[in-house]
Structure 1
Amino acid sequence: MRVSRLTLPVLAVALVAATAPASGGAVESAVEWREVFSPDGTITRAAVPVAAEPRAEAAEVTAEVVPIQRTGDADQRFDLVFVGDGYTSSELGAYHGHVVDKWAELSAVEPFKSYKQYFNVWQVDVVSNESGVDHDPALGSAKDTALDMGFWCQGRDVDTERLLCVNQAKAGQFGALAPGADQIIALGNTAKYGGAGGGVATAAGANAQAGQIAVHELGHSIGGLADEYDYPYDRYAGDEPAEPNATADASGAKWSRYLGQTSPDGGTVGAYEGSRYHRYGLYRPTENSIMRTLGREFNLVGREAMVDAFKTKIPELR
């Protein structure tokens, strides 16, 4: 174990003018869209007012960084960094258990299972003054924690109880104490199911299901995969999506080499209408993969994109 100290400017990536694509290609700049994960595995999105999130001032942060798994240099590995919130100094043992459990859940899913040895996993011991997160067990309850995590996205104008938000600037500062950070996941000290997507994904540390959020988010950050659910827009009228698992071509020619093949997530590869936040006009490769519903597998197209990304970064695989 070692102690790390770092002074960083405010991280603005997830806080400023995060735009959401609207039907036909228009954008909204007043909100940031966060993915919301439900206990039944369904995924939706909620608009969070950008201006409502408090910005962290540039500051020196200090925390102990614990290697959970280290297999190589950061520039030749994918580095997954966990930061915790609502864990007091006496609860760091529980936090460690939550990190280990989440990594075990993630690394049991392909292709992470086959490429587990090419990941570095880090635990940053962020210590809070009080145990728990805001608005748990009920809306209005407040806790003095290091990363300001809370359900209902801190009680903003978001009517989604399970949306577990974090101050992404603060979480990013602590996450940067690790040698590399391809994806930061903030674990809240709560057993209540909840989480959110974004530059820093969040999950309930003590909830056994919440690790699936990390699987889905790494599909974005590593494989560049699109969400395959069809909420909240109606018909798509834009250009061909850049993501490998979404297309405006009803024939599915984008993934023609897989058409008709059985996919690990169940069913047959084809062109299924409804994807990338639109009910009509966009198609996904399979009926129901991890990019549409938590608890599923990556489909053949998504798995290939993940493996290609591994090979791009990891010299031994080229």
Structure 2
Amino acid sequence: MIRYLSSLLALGACASALAAQPATVRLDYLHSGNALDEHYAMERVVIEPLPWPGNLSQTIDNTNRGNNLVEVVDAKTGKLLYSRGFSTVFAEWRSTEEAARINRGFQESVRFPKPEAPVKVRILKRDERNLFSVVWTADVNPDAMDVIRKQPLAPVKPIGIRVNGPSEDKVDLLIVGDGYTQADMKKFEAAARRLADHLFETSPFKERAKDFNVWAIALPTSESGVSRPSTGVHHASPIGARYDIFGSERYVLTTDNRALRELAQYAPYEFIEILVNNETYGGGGIFGQFSTAAADNDWANYLFVHEFGHHFAGLADEYYTSPVAYATGGERREPWEPNATALHDPANIKWKKFVKEGTPLPTPWPKEAYETASRAYQKERAALRANNRPESEMSALFTRDLKQSTALFSPDPQRHTVGAFEGANYEATGYYRPEMQCIMFDRSEQFCAVCADAITTIIDLYSRPAKQ
């Protein structure tokens, strides 16, 4: 009871602090197409129940991250009022084999502080030059008659997990539960607290913990767990998170954007991590959208932080020996992600400030030995899943794999060097990562220096120092 009251007081204090902030506008739209074509269509404009949670002194995003960029500009003057980089589920889907055969549509949303006059909302996309160009524009009048201004009462109240100050001064992370019954609510809260604690034990989040607020919310469902179609398991869950996205058994996402946004809108948030009530290893992360993690898995700590790295900072996967759902190969363009490079210009590598003079680029590492061990590991991993073995056996395999990799890397003179290590971005050749090991490469416990710096940049974008 005391914890519940303290959560209500924290939320009340936050809402009071936000009273001076403008309203939050959400533009819901449909993004459809196939591998070669895409289209956008406006669905609706919503005024969310809570005021804008963000820092109004930092409304323009100059980080150059994401496959897309949203810009909100004054309709009369053309002045840029707000921008943010992001990526989409659609962009991942269109790189799959299915996208070459059929059309599909995905729900998407962009949110921004309510302007004082009509605006144009522009969606930009990276072109072949890796530059953003406008692909869709929508006229939005936040005072128009068809704007949805009244929302139902909150179906559940958010819980304050960590509340360090007014939302406009902090990064607001919302942990959303899916697949939890009413009887599972205490379990969900405990998982949210445990995993948030681990996040803030990991640098650079550890050093910047006071710059975050963390909230938790879950809408009870009738049965525990989420769907895992490849094993014949199907559950109705409030936001529709499930395994087997795009045919990858470990990939967990929701494609029900409306359900997610209609629940999340009752808490202050800029970032969302979804906890699914399952023990099977799995997760996912989309930059600027959300990330997911299986809360009951033995590797939940790693999953939570790794997937949040994708969602929060746009970090690329640095591993390359695991099968993925997307089509890879082709031209090695310079990735926009801060922790991967095609190394077209070694003298001006994007993380040059971290590279010590004299470091060889590319940087040698025991790649052949690692790949030999990894092939055997992946074969064993596939067999465990194919035979539906207990999750404990998969966890033991992951533990053994990490120990073997660490033993291989430990004596190497380049182990803690920042350089350009070939093998990243799902490709064995042509892409390079900054360090030999990192949370984005394997299941180790630390971010490399480049990833840590990329995370810090986003923290700075969304927070502001406490007033002296």
Under TM normalisation by the shorter chain, which class is it? 0.7 to 0.9
- Output one character per residue of 1:37-67: Cα deviation in whole Å (capped at 9) or x when no partner: xxxxxxxx977879678869x9856221111
User: Structure 2 unaligned runs (5+)?
Assistant: 1-6, 13-23, 37-87, 109-147, 322-326, 360-413
Corresponding position of 1:229: 319
- Output one character per residue of 1:183-213: Cα deviation in whole Å (capped at 9) or x when no partner: 2111111122222223222111222312323
Distance 2:28 2:261 in 1: 7
User: Higher relative CO (CA 8 A, sep ≥ 6), structure 1 or 2?
Assistant: 1
User: Structure 1 unaligned runs (5+)?
Assistant: 21-28, 35-44
Deviation at 1:74, TM superposition (A): 2.0
Q: Does 1:286 align with 2:429?
A: no
**Cα distance 1:10–1:308, how it changes in 2: closer, same or farther (>3 A)?**
closer
Deviation at 1:266, TM superposition (A): 4.5
Distance 1:235 1:150 in 2: 30
Distance 2:240 2:171 in 1: 27
- Output one character per residue of 1:270-307: Cα deviation in whole Å (capped at 9) or x when no partner: 11123334433332211231222233421111112222
Could you tell me which of 246, 253, 260 is aligned with 2:348?
253
Deviation at 1:11, TM superposition (A): 4.6
1:79–1:119: 8 Å Cα contact kept in structure 2? yes
Distance 1:220 1:280 in 2: 22
Distance 1:294 1:18 in 2: 34
Q: Does 1:78 align with 2:171?
A: yes
Which amino acid is 1:257 matched to? K
Corresponding position of 2:421: 272
Could you tell me which of 183, 186, 190 is aligned with 2:274?
186
**Cα distance 1:68–1:131, how it changes in 2: closer, same or farther (>3 A)?**
same
Corresponding position of 1:33: 92
1:235–1:281: 8 Å Cα contact kept in structure 2? no
Corresponding position of 2:243: 151
Corresponding position of 1:38: none
Which amino acid is 1:213 matched to? L
Distance 1:243 1:149 in 2: 25
Which amino acid is 1:306 matched to? I
Give the 3-state SS of the residue equivalent to 2:231 in structure 1. Answer: coil
> How do residues 117-266 of structure 1 correspond to structure 2 at under 5 angstroms?
117-135=210-228, 139-153=231-245, 158=247, 160-169=248-257, 170-180=259-269, 182-198=270-286, 199-230=289-320, 233-234=328-329, 236-238=331-333, 240-249=334-343, 251=346, 253-254=348-349, 255-260=351-356, 266=415
Distance 1:244 1:78 in 2: 20
TM-score (norm 1): 0.75
Deviation at 1:139, TM superposition (A): 1.9
Deviation at 1:12, TM superposition (A): 4.9
Give the 3-state SS of the residue equivalent to 1:64 in structure 2. Answer: coil
**Cα distance 1:8–1:209, how it changes in 2: closer, same or farther (>3 A)?**
farther
**Cα distance 1:78–1:46, how it changes in 2: closer, same or farther (>3 A)?**
farther
Distance 1:236 1:306 in 2: 28
Distance 1:308 1:100 in 2: 25
**Cα distance 1:193–1:278, how it changes in 2: closer, same or farther (>3 A)?**
closer
2:169–2:466: 8 Å Cα contact kept in structure 1? no
Give the 3-state SS of the residue equivalent to 1:243 in structure 2. Answer: coil
Which amino acid is 2:336 matched to? A
Deviation at 1:93, TM superposition (A): 0.5
Which amino acid is 2:353 matched to? R
**Cα distance 1:186–1:168, how it changes in 2: closer, same or farther (>3 A)?**
farther
**Cα distance 1:189–1:243, how it changes in 2: closer, same or farther (>3 A)?**
closer
Higher helix share: 2
1:83–1:123: 8 Å Cα contact kept in structure 2? yes
- Output one character per residue of 1:206-247: Cα deviation in whole Å (capped at 9) or x when no partner: 223123233223333443433323475335343x33333222
**Cα distance 1:92–1:143, how it changes in 2: closer, same or farther (>3 A)?**
same
Could you tell me which of 199, 206, 211 is aligned with 1:106?
199
Instruction: Give the structure with higher Rg (CA).
Output: 2
Which amino acid is 2:268 matched to? P
Question: Number of aligned pairs?
Answer: 288
Corresponding position of 2:384: none
Deviation at 1:141, TM superposition (A): 2.7
**Cα distance 1:295–1:235, how it changes in 2: closer, same or farther (>3 A)?**
same
